[in-house]
């Protein structure tokens, strides 16, 4: 994950200053063909590039709307993919249009034309990594209803009626089920509690002798044959 931070301190949502205890994550996508982060985040930090229309979300009511999210995933000026945190994770965001604002961290994936598999796989991977990071930090389970997209939130009655991200993910063979599974896979791989398989040894025995001299003779023979890691073990 390529995580940066630019808190949208001029946004009315930030200024409201309400906090939550994050219990879930809601995945959004922007619904507009513009993959560049500078569309939503400003001022230019030298990586984002300049928003020439100055219509980013670091203002009181972007596009006249009461809206703000905790992060965005999209393109930097040079075209590489990054995540920007835009609200403290424990601030109450204005992203769900419903009760999920009181429980869920919300972030947007910047949409392109929805048909480029390279862009999709890059932002999907970035989103999986961001969610694994947040799940770990807040003890959030990568399952429904704690890790959902906006359209799933609507079905659960905790978000407004939007189609994101299920109008996009299936075009590239993905869904929120694959997404949750991928986040879980990443968490399991990173978890220090993952039990490691105990080491097993397979021993080769070449003989058992009642007379020590015979055992010594066998040991000598085996060593002469080039095996160095051999020994005699005495047991009754
Ligand atoms: Zn949404």
Distance CA 28, CA 115 (A): 17
**Conformation bin of residue 97: beta by default, left when phi > 0, alpha when psi is -120 to 50:** left
234 CA to centre of ligand 1 in angstroms: 72
163 CA to centre of ligand 1 in angstroms: 7
Distance CA 137, CA 163 (A): 28
Q: What is the pLDDT of residue 192?
A: 66
107 CA to centre of ligand 1 in angstroms: 8
164 CA to centre of ligand 1 in angstroms: 5
186 CA to centre of ligand 1 in angstroms: 24
24 CA to centre of ligand 1 in angstroms: 15
162 CA to centre of ligand 1 in angstroms: 6
Distance CA 68, CA 230 (A): 69
Please, which residues have CB within 8 angstroms of residue 4's CB and are 6 or more apart in sequence? 45, 47, 82, 83, 84, 85
Q: What is the pLDDT of residue 165?
A: 98
Q: What is the pLDDT of residue 109?
A: 98
Ranges of the chain with pLDDT below 50: 194
230 CA to centre of ligand 1 in angstroms: 67
26 CA to centre of ligand 1 in angstroms: 8
Neighbours of 123 (CB within 10 A): 22
Name the residue among 53, 66, 58 with its Cα closest to residue 41. 58
């Amino acid at each position: 994950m390529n995580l940066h931070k630019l808190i949208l301190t001029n946004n009315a949502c930030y200024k409201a200053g309400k906090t939550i205890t994050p219990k879930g994550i809601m995945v959004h996508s922007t619904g507009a063909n513009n993959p560049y982060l500078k569309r939503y985040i400003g001022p230019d930090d030298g990586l984002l590039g300049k928003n020439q229309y100055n219509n980013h979300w670091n203002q009181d009511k972007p596009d006249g709307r009461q809206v703000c999210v905790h992060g965005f995933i999209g393109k930097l000026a040079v075209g590489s993919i990054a995540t920007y945190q835009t609200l403290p994770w424990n601030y109450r965001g204005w992203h769900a249009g419903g009760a999920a604002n009181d429980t869920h961290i919300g972030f947007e994936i910047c949409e392109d034309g929805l048909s480029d598999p390279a862009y999709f796989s890059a932002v999907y991977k970035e989103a999986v990594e961001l969610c694994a990071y947040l799940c770990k930090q807040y003890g959030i389970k990568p399952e429904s209803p704690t890790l959902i997209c906006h359209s799933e939130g609507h079905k659960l009655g905790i978000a407004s009626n939007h189609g994101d991200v299920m109008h996009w993910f299936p075009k590239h063979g993905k869904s929120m089920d694959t997404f949750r599974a991928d986040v879980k896979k990443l968490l399991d791989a990173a978890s220090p509690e993952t039990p490691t398989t105990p080491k097993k040894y397979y021993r080769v025995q070449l003989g058992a002798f009642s007379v020590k001299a015979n055992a010594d003779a066998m040991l000598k023979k085996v060593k002469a044959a080039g095996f160095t890691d051999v020994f005699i073990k005495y047991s009754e």
